[in-house]
Structure 1
Amino acid sequence: MSTENATGVLLLSHVGFSFMEDLLGTVTARGLKGYVLSSLPEPQHQASRPAALADLADDVRVSTGHVLTARDVEDYLDRLQAAGAAVQCCLTVWEGYRHLMALANARLGVPDLDEKRVAELRDKLTLRNRLADAGLSRARACALTPQTLAERQREGGRYFVKPVSGIASFGTFPLTAGTTWTDVERIAAEARSDTVYSSAFAVQPGAGSPVDPGPHTHPAAEEDVGAGAGPAHGRAGGMEFLVEDYVPGREFSFEVIVVDAEPHVVAVHEKCQVTETAGTVLENACVSPPTSLSQEEIAAGIRWVTSVLDVLDLDWGCFHVEARHAASDWDLIEVNPRVGGSLISPSVAALTGGPGLLDLWLDSLLAAGRPADFGETLKNLSFTADGTAPGRNVTFFRVFFADPGTIRAVELNDDLPLQPVMSQILLEPGDVVHSSSREVFLGQVLWRMDRADRDAVLPRLLPASEHAIEIVYERERG
């Protein structure tokens, strides 16, 4: 590793992926070096991914295990600093490593969430009830056990099940009269056997007790699923679940950058198609700014998000706040201490005509010495307090999920009413998709239009976009 002009950024990668191409491009565009610490890739990627990262980064270190640890981070920082590298900050998009990012930034003296707050955000049971106590959520939650499962089914209301600490909608589903504890244990078994996702379901020490889609942007896993500190939440095979009151309404996400306790909502995405299955929730399509909300309702949402961040004492960072809106009220799905997955970051870039969300998050860390100046930059790119969106652009993106089977052919459809500004196909012919309780990303496509054209273009684009990626599966031999 060259020590000449060695000012750079530490990037944490899980199993060799986690948006590394995007992050390294963002870092190098600022004239900084990219230092990558990755956990060991899965066997099929162990030969290719470290080499691919080495072609893009200035230094790459791969751990011996599939999950990074605090010791891995400390040792790599020691090595970089001994070699003369001036590490400015640490960044990761994988929520399972968010506490490690916090640890590294604390050591580097960079303002960020501390590890305790990261853990508190990832404990969704405690978080839900904390916001209910503050009057910011109408829903409450309790540990899911065979007993509480039976009680909720007898009550006959609407309830939702999710891991206490999870990621990527794995194992999240509405409770039905047919749900059994065996179903829950099956999902937990899938989580334990999933190298990529397994440890993301363990609440990190320090709590009151991590889209990153597809094989080309793999997220991470952590060791000892279900082990460690935490309250006695419901456990199925070592994995903790909760059951909460169902939150009704249309679903939205607020993309927020907080600098020096001042929140900036740089985008509001409306999830215009969400599919709830027996084992997961698939978020299929998003539009920003929202089409179903008035400016006043967006303003109310911004005030509500600001109150949530204030109650949780979140004074620095990037947040993907998922919420639902019904009957003029806002309520929480969850607060993620990171960028949203899939095309959220490019959607922000297309919306503002400027930087994406990854760029803004990195810049917020690099701007520690001049928060007021960067805050002014954010203000010009963000929604105003009265709900006015920045600029004149509208973005729409659709995410595609694969069905179980072997892929024979997959390609982008060029017969669409509006050509996309960005597309990604994440699987290829010959890939085998197995049945799972987590989504398997096939690809994603992003469009941009002028707000004046939205009402004419979007109604045609919505149904047509369902076929933007065409896929054919091999027939089963009978």
Structure 2
Amino acid sequence: MENTLGVLLLSHVGFSFMEDLIGTVTARGVKTCVLSSLPEPRHQVSRPEQLIELADELHVTSEHVLTPEDVDAYIDQLEATGTSVQCCLTVWEGYRHLMASANARLGVPDLDEKQILKLRDKLTLRNRLADVGLTRGRASALTPTTLAERQREGGRYFVKPVSGIASFGTFPLTPETTWSELERLTLEARSDTVYANTFATTAGPFSQSGTDLNNGADSAVSAPSGVGCEVEFLIEDYVPGQEFSFEVVVVDGDPYVVAVHEKCEVTESTGTVLENACVSPPTTLSQEEVAAGIRWTTRALTALDLRWGCFHVEARYASSGWDLIEVNPRVGGSLISPSVAALTGGPGMLDLWLDLLLTASQPGGFLKTLKGLSFGMDGTTPSPNATFFRVFFTGPGTIREVGLNDDLPFQPLLSHVLLKPGDVVEASSREVFLGQVLWRMDLADRDDLLAELLPASMRAIEIMYETESG
């Protein structure tokens, strides 16, 4: 029986950047093997048909969430039929621990499964880094008592899920924030087929010993017993400053910062935070401030003993220095990976992560490429390019028309319009993506071009909704 090399890709309900991932694997001449959880009802026929046209192998499970048993059984099936699985990769944070477990089985250097679960516990992570002086903020479990205490104190605080994604349930604390609002968000998270498993903390496959926040009547917000997943919230000291993200690849304990993105537009509202636009390299930082950010990021990753993998480190910078938002053990969402490709003129973050996994046992050639792409410790980038991208979100309603605006200062490098006429968008406390648009420009010309592009890009995707009759 012929032994074919393959890469295992984990898909959540049929999506999770599958087109991009499949293309990245196929470009390396390796077989693509997709394991997907059951899509939502409206996609259960169409999405598997689309995936089987793209992938070499596809298996769809009978449930909306993948389990460790699903992953092990699929690897067994592939190996029994002549496919030698080289590594496992997913961009869905709720499956990152499954990826780590699979790579451990396959002998591929990666983070430990327990490390992934600890990183996803943002309450413990915040306080752990505070203990070693890498963040000035601290966090507590959100309970009726801690909510009332923080409101009486009158300081600045931020609320977020202990484990979460897509900025759902993340917002600044106000005097108007109520416990019933948190209960409503909890119920909404639990009922969301796509996102529910990412909010699990002390129940189900994300159970962590020593992290039980449900003690007594004054416990953190959680689902009733026997219902799928637990949802818990934390409250933390507000981190001031401008937002940035560091796109990092770590090889055997050595971090390489491939890109630094500045979140040049962020909207904080009740229930969520929307990251509207990013530019790279940053426009508001000096070379010395970027260098300080790289040193801070390196210290944080070292303190957490994160020796392998791809990371999207979210931070804020103020006059007091660098501080933490989150450490995500994955590629950044939206157009972060294509932005990196446009910045480097070569590989994006998905390419780099896959190449790390495929070459981790002998990373010599990969390391040479990675070093040539990465920022220096002095805060300089080898790239002559700059990138800017804008992400569009939408509110509830039925879409009548939607499309890319052709009246822009200059044409984008890449655009995605993710919804179509006739789509119905329900009200939600998580971000609902409409589309995204990416531009590349010469770094030397960036500031002049951005002055015109920033306001013009706000109308890059145009949308009209059906109006109510009568």
TM category (shorter chain) comes to over 0.9
CA spacing shift, 1:41–1:245, aligned 2, 3 Å: same
Which of the residues 271, 277, 282 maps onto 1:279?
271
Measure the CA separation in 2 of the matches of 1:426 and 1:477. Answer: 27
Residues 1:348 and 2:340 are matched in the alignment: yes
Measure the CA separation in 1 of the matches of 2:190 and 2:127. Answer: 27
The C-alpha deviation readout for 1:149-169, integer Å capped at 9, x for no partner, is: 000000000000000000111
Residue equivalent to 1:402: 394
The C-alpha deviation readout for 1:119-169, integer Å capped at 9, x for no partner, is: 010000000000000000000000000110000000000000000000111
Residues 1:231 and 2:241 are matched in the alignment: no
1:235: how far off?
2.1
Q: Supply the RMSD in Å over aligned alpha carbons.
A: 1.3
DSSP-derived class of the 1:171 partner: coil
Measure the CA separation in 2 of the matches of 1:390 and 1:396. Answer: 18
Measure the CA separation in 2 of the matches of 1:105 and 1:204. Answer: 24
Residue equivalent to 1:84: 82
Runs of 4+ residues over 4 Å off in structure 1: 224-229
Residue equivalent to 1:10: 8
**8 Å CA contact 1:192, 1:225 repeated in 2:** no
Q: Give the letter for the 2:129 counterpart.
A: L
Residue equivalent to 2:217: none
Measure the CA separation in 2 of the matches of 1:397 and 1:181. Answer: 36
DSSP-derived class of the 2:6 partner: strand
Residues 1:69 and 2:67 are matched in the alignment: yes
**8 Å CA contact 1:226, 1:239 repeated in 2:** no
Which of the residues 113, 116, 134 maps onto 2:114?
116
* Superposition map of 1:436-447 within 5 A: 436-447=428-439
Residue equivalent to 2:236: 244
The C-alpha deviation readout for 1:212-270, integer Å capped at 9, x for no partner, is: xxxxxxxxxxxx59977532152243411000000000000000000111101000000
Measure the CA separation in 2 of the matches of 1:328 and 1:420. Answer: 36
Measure the CA separation in 2 of the matches of 1:403 and 1:389. Answer: 38
Residues 1:191 and 2:189 are matched in the alignment: yes
Residue equivalent to 2:227: none
Residue equivalent to 2:443: 451
Residues 1:370 and 2:351 are matched in the alignment: no
1:183: how far off?
0.4
The C-alpha deviation readout for 1:283-318, integer Å capped at 9, x for no partner, is: 000000000000000000000000000000000000
Residues 1:264 and 2:262 are matched in the alignment: no
Measure the CA separation in 1 of the matches of 2:233 and 2:412. Answer: 39
Q: Give the letter for the 1:142 counterpart.
A: S
Q: Give the letter for the 2:78 counterpart.
A: L
Residue equivalent to 1:358: 350
Which of the residues 308, 327, 352 maps onto 2:300?
308
CA spacing shift, 1:243–1:466, aligned 2, 3 Å: same
In structure 1, stretches of 5+ residues that fail to align are 206-223
Measure the CA separation in 2 of the matches of 1:261 and 1:427. Answer: 41
1:5: how far off?
5.7
Measure the CA separation in 2 of the matches of 1:75 and 1:236. Answer: 32
1:322: how far off?
0.3
CA spacing shift, 1:29–1:427, aligned 2, 3 Å: same
1:391: how far off?
1.2
TM-score, normalisation: structure 2: 0.96
Measure the CA separation in 1 of the matches of 2:208 and 2:51. Answer: 32
Measure the CA separation in 1 of the matches of 2:359 and 2:441. Answer: 32
Measure the CA separation in 1 of the matches of 2:205 and 2:262. Answer: 33
Measure the CA separation in 2 of the matches of 1:40 and 1:418. Answer: 41
* Superposition map of 1:61-210 within 5 A: 61-203=59-201
**8 Å CA contact 1:201, 1:225 repeated in 2:** no
1:372: how far off?
3.1
Q: Give the letter for the 1:115 counterpart.
A: E
Q: Give the letter for the 1:235 counterpart.
A: V
Identity of aligned pairs, percent?
72
**8 Å CA contact 2:117, 2:208 repeated in 1:** no
Residue equivalent to 2:22: 24
Measure the CA separation in 1 of the matches of 2:60 and 2:382. Answer: 41
Q: Give the letter for the 2:154 counterpart.
A: G
Q: Give the letter for the 1:274 counterpart.
A: V
DSSP-derived class of the 1:448 partner: strand
CA spacing shift, 1:159–1:455, aligned 2, 3 Å: same
**8 Å CA contact 2:202, 2:212 repeated in 1:** no
1:452: how far off?
1.3
1:437: how far off?
0.7
Residues 1:331 and 2:323 are matched in the alignment: yes
1:477: how far off?
2.4
Residue equivalent to 1:57: 55
**8 Å CA contact 2:373, 2:382 repeated in 1:** yes
DSSP-derived class of the 2:421 partner: coil
**8 Å CA contact 2:79, 2:85 repeated in 1:** yes
Measure the CA separation in 2 of the matches of 1:178 and 1:227. Answer: 32
Residue equivalent to 1:388: 380
**8 Å CA contact 2:3, 2:82 repeated in 1:** no
Measure the CA separation in 1 of the matches of 2:208 and 2:320. Answer: 41
**8 Å CA contact 1:225, 1:239 repeated in 2:** no
Q: Give the letter for the 1:354 counterpart.
A: G
**8 Å CA contact 2:201, 2:231 repeated in 1:** no
Measure the CA separation in 2 of the matches of 1:14 and 1:342. Answer: 16
Greater shift, 364-373 or 406-415, is seen at 364-373
Residues 1:294 and 2:286 are matched in the alignment: yes
Figure out how many residues of one structure are paired with residues of the other and give that number. 458
Q: Give the letter for the 2:452 counterpart.
A: R
Measure the CA separation in 1 of the matches of 2:341 and 2:362. Answer: 23
DSSP-derived class of the 2:221 partner: strand
